[in-house]
Amino acid sequence: MTKTTEPTVENIATFLVQISVSQRPLYDTLVSAMKRIAQIEKVALYARVSTKDGRQDTENQLIALREYCQKQGWRIAAEYVDHETGGTSKRKHFQQMFTDARARKFDLVLFWSLDRLSREGVSATLGHLERLTEYGVGWRSHTEEYLDSTGIFKDAVIAILAVVAKQERIRRSERASAAIARLRRQGQADRLGRKRNVFDRDHARRLKAKGWSIRQIAAELGQSAMTIQRAVSAIII
């Protein structure tokens, strides 16, 4: 029967010395990860659900995240909660979290899972993670152990996400090119680009010549004051 040795500081130190000699890159990675973890004191929690009708609740996420922080000995600096779609970054508390991250009000952002942080696609999500890293703030998924900026697989995960994001951009570009080609084949090239704002510019100029104000003309023609200003200021050749 194999005797099990309890892990101690001495055992861990011996293990690190052994791999420092035999596998230097692994040793450096482990030491770097341990340093990152040791620097964590203040943590921000982020929770999100998509609906506002009460059928989903962020409290279940927060309970688990709070318990995890307690076990790690981390102090919760703030909790950011959004009740809206993750398909956009225009979320009130999501934006506030990044503002506070830039001010270094916490050391790490802990979220339930990556799709709770963002559902904008790989490119945008990777951008959010890179922004946190740029601010000197770590990030960790509670349910996806490999998504951890303090872990030994950080660089590998970022590299994989970057490759997937690149492929996502390529597919998006290919779809756009295919749509443009289809419209051109169908003789609908006029549908490409921004739709022109059509109104009687000559009429706008005549009203201006009669002494109408820009605001009056805009109200009359159903256009913005800026649009009317550009129209009446244009040089006629």
Predicted TM-score of the model (pTM): 0.57
Query: Average pLDDT, whole number, for the chain?
Result: 78
Question: Do both 146 and 34 map to the same domain?
Answer: yes
Tens digit of each residue's pLDDT (9 = 90 or more) over 196-215: 667 788 888 889 888 898 98
Q: Strand 108-111 to strand 42-49: parallel, antiparallel, or no bridges (unpaired)?
A: parallel
Question: Do both 148 and 215 map to the same domain?
Answer: no
Question: Do both 48 and 110 map to the same domain?
Answer: yes
Last residue of a domain, one of 110, 140, 163: 163
User: In the chain, helix, strand, coil percent, each to 5?
Assistant: 55, 10, 35
Range of the domain at 59: 14-163
Cα–Cα distance, 131 to 145 (Å, whole number): 20
pLDDT class of 9 with cuts at 50, 70, 90: very low
Minimum mean pLDDT among 101-105, 131-135, 191-195, 222-226: which range? 191-195
CB contact set of 101 (below 8 Å; sequence gap of 6+): 44, 109, 131, 132, 135, 137
Cα–Cα distance, 131 to 138 (Å, whole number): 10
Last residue of a domain, one of 106, 141, 163: 163
Q: Which two three-digit tokens encode residue 174?
A: 């290919």
Q: Is residue 7 part of a domain?
A: no
Minimum mean pLDDT among 46-60, 133-147, 189-203: which range? 189-203
pLDDT of 108: 94
Question: Do both 44 and 126 map to the same domain?
Answer: yes
**Structural domain count of the chain:** 2
pLDDT of 125: 86
Tens digit of each residue's pLDDT (9 = 90 or more) over 143-199: 888 888 877 666 777 777 767 667 666 777 777 777 777 767 777 665 555 556 677
pLDDT class of 34 with cuts at 50, 70, 90: low
Cα–Cα distance, 3 to 1 (Å, whole number): 6
CB atoms within 10 A of CB 226: 10
Cα–Cα distance, 82 to 92 (Å, whole number): 7
